[in-house]
Amino acid sequence: MAASRRVGYGHRQSSVESFWLSTMKATEVYNRSTMPLCKISFTVVAATILWGASAFAQSATCDETLWQHVYKPSRLVVQEKCVTVTGTIVDATASQSTHRKDGVRHEGDGDTHGWLKLDPGQEKFLNSGNKTNEGGNLVFETICMFPVTQADAKAACKGFHSGVTIPPVGSHVSITGTWVQDMEHAKWFEIHPVTSIVVGK
């Protein structure tokens, strides 16, 4: 028979009951002591999520003033005003008569003509023009990057020079800008103008 002890109102409490009461009290004390820690942890996680969302929103912001310096903007049909795509920069000059160390073609209007090999899942940014004429890559054009040699394009870049840095070939990047279709040439898709290029992992 289990040992017992007398408690108030003539009730006898068994050793089993004593064990459960002491366990419940200990649990209550533990929960009270750890509750602030749980609240702090939740706050940290929530803040991290909000910061990440804010950073992403900032990275997807496009500079609309760049359109003031786009050569012949009527040839570009906007698909989406502002997008961010990810991929690896590949050499767009490899098959050209003039090979460039920076891996981009230096256009007469001062723009770059670069290639981005997209990460999987972004096929919508490519069309038949990209596949047949651009090696299956997405074209990206950073405007007013180089000296303008094309006479009718000089006005667009007058007094302006892009501050975007072109990472080396092989860099994995995210590129933010306007997604357009160039209605000249093979009517491929481009990011044009480019607002930013950020190097990732």
**pLDDT band (50, 70, 90) for residue 185:** confident
Domain boundary among 21, 42, 59: 59
Q: Is the pLDDT of residue 102 over 60?
A: yes
pLDDT tens-place string over residues 149-174: 999 999 999 999 999 999 999 999 99
Residues 71 and 52 in one domain: no
Residues 105 and 142 in one domain: yes
**pLDDT band (50, 70, 90) for residue 201:** low
pLDDT tens-place string over residues 21-40: 454 454 444 444 444 433 43
Residues 73 and 169 in one domain: yes
Which amino acid appears at position 172 of this protein? H
Q: Which two tokens stand for residue 97?
A: 């008569």
pTM: 0.71
Residues 99 and 133 in one domain: yes
pLDDT value at residue 26: 45
pLDDT value at residue 62: 97
